[in-house]
Chains A and B, each alone.
Chain A
Amino acid sequence: MSAELDLSGVLCPMTWVRTRLALEDLAPGERLEVRLDPGEPLESVPRSAREDGHEVSEHGAIVSILKR
Protein backbone atom coordinates (compact mmCIF):
# COMPACT_ATOMS: atom_id res chain seq x y z
CA MET A 1 0.00 0.00 0.00
CA SER A 2 1.16 3.53 -0.60
CA ALA A 3 -0.07 7.02 0.10
CA GLU A 4 0.36 10.32 -1.69
CA LEU A 5 0.72 13.80 -0.28
CA ASP A 6 0.69 16.97 -2.36
CA LEU A 7 2.60 19.67 -0.52
CA SER A 8 2.85 22.10 -3.43
CA GLY A 9 2.85 25.63 -2.06
CA VAL A 10 3.49 24.43 1.51
CA LEU A 11 6.45 25.99 3.32
CA CYS A 12 8.88 24.54 5.86
CA PRO A 13 8.50 23.44 8.59
CA MET A 14 4.85 22.59 7.74
CA THR A 15 6.15 20.34 4.94
CA TRP A 16 7.86 18.07 7.45
CA VAL A 17 5.00 18.34 9.98
CA ARG A 18 2.54 17.03 7.38
CA THR A 19 4.96 14.42 6.05
CA ARG A 20 5.66 13.08 9.54
CA LEU A 21 1.99 12.82 10.43
CA ALA A 22 1.25 11.04 7.15
CA LEU A 23 4.10 8.60 7.86
CA GLU A 24 2.66 7.90 11.32
CA ASP A 25 -0.52 6.62 9.66
CA LEU A 26 1.44 4.06 7.59
CA ALA A 27 2.79 0.68 8.64
CA PRO A 28 6.48 -0.14 8.24
CA GLY A 29 7.18 -1.19 4.66
CA GLU A 30 4.52 1.10 3.22
CA ARG A 31 5.44 3.96 0.93
CA LEU A 32 4.60 7.66 0.96
CA GLU A 33 5.02 9.79 -2.15
CA VAL A 34 5.31 13.48 -1.40
CA ARG A 35 5.18 16.28 -3.96
CA LEU A 36 7.30 19.22 -2.83
CA ASP A 37 8.30 22.64 -4.14
CA PRO A 38 11.93 23.20 -5.13
CA GLY A 39 14.22 24.97 -2.68
CA GLU A 40 14.00 24.41 1.04
CA PRO A 41 11.12 21.86 0.97
CA LEU A 42 12.87 19.54 -1.51
CA GLU A 43 16.16 19.94 0.33
CA SER A 44 15.01 19.44 3.89
CA VAL A 45 12.18 16.88 3.79
CA PRO A 46 14.30 14.04 2.34
CA ARG A 47 17.05 14.82 4.85
CA SER A 48 14.62 14.81 7.79
CA ALA A 49 13.08 11.54 6.57
CA ARG A 50 16.50 9.91 6.35
CA GLU A 51 17.39 11.21 9.82
CA ASP A 52 14.27 9.47 11.11
CA GLY A 53 15.56 6.21 9.60
CA HIS A 54 13.34 5.94 6.51
CA GLU A 55 14.49 4.96 3.01
CA VAL A 56 14.25 7.89 0.64
CA SER A 57 14.48 8.24 -3.14
CA GLU A 58 13.97 11.43 -5.09
CA HIS A 59 12.36 11.75 -8.53
CA GLY A 60 12.20 15.42 -9.48
CA ALA A 61 9.48 17.05 -7.40
CA ILE A 62 8.40 13.72 -5.92
CA VAL A 63 10.10 12.32 -2.84
CA SER A 64 9.36 8.67 -2.23
CA ILE A 65 9.68 7.55 1.36
CA LEU A 66 9.67 3.90 2.38
CA LYS A 67 8.60 3.80 6.01
CA ARG A 68 10.91 1.86 8.32
Chain B
Amino acid sequence: MTLTDGELERYSRQLVMAEWSGAAQRRVALARVVVIGVGALGTPAATYLVGAGVGHVVLVDSDVVELSNLHRQTVHSTDDLGKAKADSAAARLRALNPGVRVEPLRLRVDSDSAPGLFAGASLVVDCSDSFETRYAVNDACCAEGVPLVEAGVLGLGGLVLSIHPGRSACYRCAFPTPPPAGAVPSCREAGVLGPMAGIVGSHQALEALKLVAGVGEPLLDRLLQIEGRDATQTIVSVRRRPDCPACARVAAAA
Protein backbone atom coordinates (compact mmCIF):
# COMPACT_ATOMS: atom_id res chain seq x y z
CA MET B 1 0.00 0.00 0.00
CA THR B 2 1.62 3.20 -1.21
CA LEU B 3 0.58 6.63 -0.04
CA THR B 4 -0.43 9.00 -2.84
CA ASP B 5 1.05 12.49 -3.18
CA GLY B 6 -2.18 13.93 -1.78
CA GLU B 7 -2.09 11.59 1.22
CA LEU B 8 1.57 12.40 1.86
CA GLU B 9 0.72 16.08 2.00
CA ARG B 10 -2.52 15.65 4.00
CA TYR B 11 -0.77 13.57 6.66
CA SER B 12 2.62 15.30 6.43
CA ARG B 13 2.42 16.93 9.89
CA GLN B 14 2.06 13.54 11.54
CA LEU B 15 4.42 11.74 9.13
CA VAL B 16 7.25 14.11 10.12
CA MET B 17 6.88 13.18 13.79
CA ALA B 18 9.67 10.98 15.13
CA GLU B 19 7.02 8.81 16.85
CA TRP B 20 4.95 8.31 13.69
CA SER B 21 6.00 6.62 10.43
CA GLY B 22 4.79 5.48 7.04
CA ALA B 23 4.19 2.07 8.61
CA ALA B 24 2.06 3.68 11.34
CA GLN B 25 0.11 5.58 8.69
CA ARG B 26 -0.52 2.36 6.76
CA ARG B 27 -1.72 0.63 9.94
CA VAL B 28 -4.31 3.33 10.60
CA ALA B 29 -5.32 3.35 6.93
CA LEU B 30 -6.12 -0.38 7.13
CA ALA B 31 -8.09 -0.03 10.39
CA ARG B 32 -11.83 -0.10 10.97
CA VAL B 33 -12.72 1.89 14.07
CA VAL B 34 -16.24 1.98 15.52
CA VAL B 35 -17.23 5.18 17.34
CA ILE B 36 -20.21 4.73 19.67
CA GLY B 37 -22.04 8.04 19.80
CA VAL B 38 -21.30 11.19 17.80
CA GLY B 39 -22.21 13.66 20.49
CA ALA B 40 -20.02 15.46 23.01
CA LEU B 41 -17.11 12.98 23.11
CA GLY B 42 -17.71 11.58 19.63
CA THR B 43 -17.28 15.01 18.05
CA PRO B 44 -13.52 15.34 18.67
CA ALA B 45 -12.92 11.57 18.69
CA ALA B 46 -14.42 10.91 15.27
CA THR B 47 -13.12 14.16 13.79
CA TYR B 48 -9.48 13.45 14.65
CA LEU B 49 -9.71 9.79 13.59
CA VAL B 50 -11.06 10.79 10.18
CA GLY B 51 -8.54 13.62 9.96
CA ALA B 52 -5.67 11.27 10.75
CA GLY B 53 -6.62 8.87 7.96
CA VAL B 54 -8.19 5.89 9.75
CA GLY B 55 -9.37 3.91 6.72
CA HIS B 56 -12.91 3.08 7.81
CA VAL B 57 -14.77 4.91 10.57
CA VAL B 58 -18.21 3.68 11.66
CA LEU B 59 -20.40 6.27 13.43
CA VAL B 60 -23.13 4.70 15.55
CA ASP B 61 -25.87 6.92 17.00
CA SER B 62 -29.65 6.67 17.22
CA ASP B 63 -30.29 10.26 18.34
CA VAL B 64 -31.18 13.37 16.37
CA VAL B 65 -29.44 16.73 16.66
CA GLU B 66 -31.05 19.05 19.24
CA LEU B 67 -30.40 22.73 19.89
CA SER B 68 -29.04 21.99 23.38
CA ASN B 69 -26.36 19.71 21.84
CA LEU B 70 -24.59 22.32 19.77
CA HIS B 71 -22.49 24.06 22.44
CA ARG B 72 -20.37 20.91 22.73
CA GLN B 73 -21.25 18.74 19.73
CA THR B 74 -19.58 20.96 17.18
CA VAL B 75 -19.46 18.35 14.43
CA HIS B 76 -23.12 19.29 13.86
CA SER B 77 -24.46 22.65 12.66
CA THR B 78 -27.61 24.64 13.39
CA ASP B 79 -28.84 23.59 9.94
CA ASP B 80 -28.67 19.95 11.10
CA LEU B 81 -31.33 20.30 13.85
CA GLY B 82 -33.66 17.33 13.66
CA LYS B 83 -31.34 15.26 11.47
CA ALA B 84 -29.94 11.93 12.61
CA LYS B 85 -26.60 12.59 14.34
CA ALA B 86 -24.94 9.68 12.53
CA ASP B 87 -25.86 11.18 9.14
CA SER B 88 -25.06 14.76 10.13
CA ALA B 89 -21.62 13.81 11.45
CA ALA B 90 -20.92 11.57 8.45
CA ALA B 91 -21.62 14.42 6.01
CA ARG B 92 -19.30 16.77 7.87
CA LEU B 93 -16.51 14.20 8.23
CA ARG B 94 -16.67 13.08 4.58
CA ALA B 95 -16.17 16.72 3.67
CA LEU B 96 -13.20 16.84 6.05
CA ASN B 97 -11.50 13.81 4.50
CA PRO B 98 -12.99 12.20 1.39
CA GLY B 99 -10.27 9.54 1.50
CA VAL B 100 -11.82 7.89 4.55
CA ARG B 101 -14.78 5.53 4.36
CA VAL B 102 -17.27 7.04 6.83
CA GLU B 103 -20.21 4.75 7.58
CA PRO B 104 -23.16 6.13 9.58
CA LEU B 105 -25.33 3.66 11.48
CA ARG B 106 -28.60 4.82 13.05
CA LEU B 107 -28.66 2.23 15.74
CA ARG B 108 -28.97 2.03 19.51
CA VAL B 109 -26.06 0.13 21.03
CA ASP B 110 -27.01 -2.41 23.69
CA SER B 111 -26.01 -5.90 24.72
CA ASP B 112 -27.95 -7.34 21.75
CA SER B 113 -26.57 -5.12 19.00
CA ALA B 114 -22.99 -4.58 20.25
CA PRO B 115 -21.35 -7.97 19.50
CA GLY B 116 -22.33 -7.95 15.82
CA LEU B 117 -21.12 -4.35 15.44
CA PHE B 118 -17.68 -5.01 16.88
CA ALA B 119 -16.76 -8.36 15.33
CA GLY B 120 -13.64 -7.86 13.23
CA ALA B 121 -13.23 -4.20 14.20
CA SER B 122 -9.72 -2.91 14.88
CA LEU B 123 -10.87 -0.79 17.81
CA VAL B 124 -13.96 0.66 19.47
CA VAL B 125 -14.16 4.18 20.91
CA ASP B 126 -16.98 4.46 23.44
CA CYS B 127 -18.39 7.98 23.36
CA SER B 128 -21.74 7.02 24.87
CA ASP B 129 -23.25 8.77 27.89
CA SER B 130 -24.75 6.02 30.06
CA PHE B 131 -23.35 3.34 32.33
CA GLU B 132 -25.67 0.77 30.79
CA THR B 133 -24.22 1.35 27.33
CA ARG B 134 -20.63 1.40 28.63
CA TYR B 135 -21.01 -1.99 30.29
CA ALA B 136 -22.62 -3.43 27.14
CA VAL B 137 -19.81 -2.04 24.98
CA ASN B 138 -17.13 -3.26 27.38
CA ASP B 139 -18.58 -6.76 27.61
CA ALA B 140 -18.92 -7.10 23.84
CA CYS B 141 -15.35 -5.85 23.24
CA CYS B 142 -14.04 -8.35 25.79
CA ALA B 143 -16.01 -11.17 24.18
CA GLU B 144 -14.77 -10.24 20.70
CA GLY B 145 -11.21 -9.41 21.83
CA VAL B 146 -11.43 -5.89 20.39
CA PRO B 147 -9.43 -3.07 22.03
CA LEU B 148 -11.54 -0.28 23.47
CA VAL B 149 -11.14 3.32 24.61
CA GLU B 150 -13.60 4.20 27.37
CA ALA B 151 -14.32 7.68 28.67
CA GLY B 152 -16.81 9.80 30.49
CA VAL B 153 -17.28 13.53 31.03
CA LEU B 154 -19.48 15.40 33.45
CA GLY B 155 -19.44 19.03 34.47
CA LEU B 156 -15.76 19.93 34.71
CA GLY B 157 -14.42 16.40 35.18
CA GLY B 158 -13.51 13.52 32.91
CA LEU B 159 -12.09 9.99 32.81
CA VAL B 160 -10.25 8.03 30.12
CA LEU B 161 -9.20 4.36 30.14
CA SER B 162 -7.85 2.23 27.30
CA ILE B 163 -8.57 -1.48 27.39
CA HIS B 164 -6.81 -4.37 25.69
CA PRO B 165 -9.06 -7.34 26.52
CA GLY B 166 -7.14 -10.16 28.19
CA ARG B 167 -4.09 -7.95 28.71
CA SER B 168 -5.25 -4.97 30.74
CA ALA B 169 -8.04 -4.08 33.15
CA CYS B 170 -11.43 -3.72 31.48
CA TYR B 171 -14.12 -1.19 32.39
CA ARG B 172 -15.77 -3.72 34.72
CA CYS B 173 -12.41 -4.36 36.45
CA ALA B 174 -12.13 -0.63 37.14
CA PHE B 175 -15.84 -0.12 37.91
CA PRO B 176 -17.34 -3.50 38.91
CA THR B 177 -20.79 -2.10 39.63
CA PRO B 178 -22.64 0.91 38.29
CA PRO B 179 -23.19 3.71 40.80
CA PRO B 180 -26.56 3.51 42.56
CA ALA B 181 -29.39 5.11 40.64
CA GLY B 182 -29.41 8.83 41.35
CA ALA B 183 -25.83 8.96 42.69
CA VAL B 184 -24.47 10.23 39.42
CA PRO B 185 -26.63 12.66 37.51
CA SER B 186 -26.84 12.04 33.79
CA CYS B 187 -25.16 14.44 31.41
CA ARG B 188 -28.52 16.03 30.77
CA GLU B 189 -29.18 16.74 34.44
CA ALA B 190 -25.71 17.87 35.45
CA GLY B 191 -24.57 19.68 32.37
CA VAL B 192 -21.13 19.87 30.89
CA LEU B 193 -18.92 22.63 29.59
CA GLY B 194 -18.13 22.17 25.89
CA PRO B 195 -14.32 22.30 26.13
CA MET B 196 -14.32 19.54 28.76
CA ALA B 197 -15.96 17.22 26.24
CA GLY B 198 -13.41 18.44 23.70
CA ILE B 199 -10.50 17.60 26.00
CA VAL B 200 -11.78 14.16 26.98
CA GLY B 201 -12.89 13.18 23.46
CA SER B 202 -9.55 14.37 22.08
CA HIS B 203 -7.80 12.13 24.60
CA GLN B 204 -9.89 9.25 23.27
CA ALA B 205 -8.79 9.99 19.70
CA LEU B 206 -5.17 10.13 20.85
CA GLU B 207 -5.48 6.78 22.64
CA ALA B 208 -7.20 5.24 19.62
CA LEU B 209 -4.45 6.38 17.25
CA LYS B 210 -1.73 5.15 19.62
CA LEU B 211 -3.36 1.72 19.93
CA VAL B 212 -4.06 1.28 16.22
CA ALA B 213 -0.69 2.61 15.05
CA GLY B 214 1.25 0.91 17.83
CA VAL B 215 2.99 4.07 19.02
CA GLY B 216 3.45 5.61 22.47
CA GLU B 217 2.19 4.30 25.80
CA PRO B 218 -1.59 3.89 25.88
CA LEU B 219 -3.60 4.24 29.09
CA LEU B 220 -3.63 0.47 29.77
CA ASP B 221 -4.16 -0.31 33.47
CA ARG B 222 -3.98 3.45 34.02
CA LEU B 223 -7.13 5.50 34.51
CA LEU B 224 -6.68 9.14 33.56
CA GLN B 225 -8.71 11.56 35.65
CA ILE B 226 -9.00 15.08 34.32
CA GLU B 227 -10.21 17.92 36.53
CA GLY B 228 -11.03 21.02 34.53
CA ARG B 229 -11.71 23.20 37.57
CA ASP B 230 -8.02 23.47 38.50
CA ALA B 231 -6.55 22.02 35.27
CA THR B 232 -5.05 18.95 36.96
CA GLN B 233 -4.67 15.42 35.66
CA THR B 234 -4.19 12.33 37.81
CA ILE B 235 -3.30 8.77 36.80
CA VAL B 236 -4.86 6.05 38.95
CA SER B 237 -3.58 2.47 38.62
CA VAL B 238 -6.23 -0.14 37.93
CA ARG B 239 -5.76 -3.92 37.81
CA ARG B 240 -7.45 -6.86 36.15
CA ARG B 241 -9.79 -8.69 38.50
CA PRO B 242 -9.31 -12.46 38.41
CA ASP B 243 -13.06 -12.89 38.89
CA CYS B 244 -14.14 -10.23 36.38
CA PRO B 245 -17.26 -11.54 34.63
CA ALA B 246 -16.34 -9.70 31.43
CA CYS B 247 -12.64 -10.29 30.89
CA ALA B 248 -11.29 -12.91 33.32
CA ARG B 249 -11.55 -15.72 30.79
CA VAL B 250 -10.49 -13.68 27.75
CA ALA B 251 -7.23 -14.78 26.15
CA ALA B 252 -4.95 -11.88 25.28
CA ALA B 253 -5.50 -10.76 21.69
CA ALA B 254 -2.47 -10.39 19.46
Contacts from A to B (Cβ < 8 Å):
13-14, 16-18, 20-21, 24, 51-52
Select which of B12, B18, B23 is within 8 A of A13 by beta carbon: B12
Q: Which of A14, A17, A18 has the most CB of B within 10 A?
A: A17
A16 with B16: CB separation less than 8 A: yes
Query: B15 — which chain A residues lie within 8 A by C-beta?
Result: 17, 20-21
Give Cα A13–Cα B15 distance, bound, in whole angstroms: 9
Give Cα A18–Cα B12 distance, bound, in whole angstroms: 9
B229 on the interface (CB 8 Å rule)?
no
A24 with B22: CB separation less than 8 A: yes
Give Cα A21–Cα B23 distance, bound, in whole angstroms: 9
Contacts from B to A (Cβ < 8 Å):
3, 8-9, 12-13, 15-16, 18, 21-23
B16 with A17: CB separation less than 8 A: yes
A17 with B12: CB separation less than 8 A: yes
Query: A14 — which chain B residues lie within 8 A by C-beta?
Result: 8-9, 12
Nearest CB on B from A29, distance (A): 19
B12 with A20: CB separation less than 8 A: no
Select which of B8, B18, B23 is within 8 A of A17 by beta carbon: B8
Chain A residue with Cβ nearest B14: A17
Nearest CB on A from B247, distance (A): 35
Give Cα A14–Cα B3 distance, bound, in whole angstroms: 13
Query: A52 — which chain B residues lie within 8 A by C-beta?
Result: 18
Give Cα A51–Cα B16 distance, bound, in whole angstroms: 12
Chain B residue with Cβ nearest A51: B18
Query: B18 — which chain A residues lie within 8 A by C-beta?
Result: 51-52
Query: B9 — which chain A residues lie within 8 A by C-beta?
Result: 14
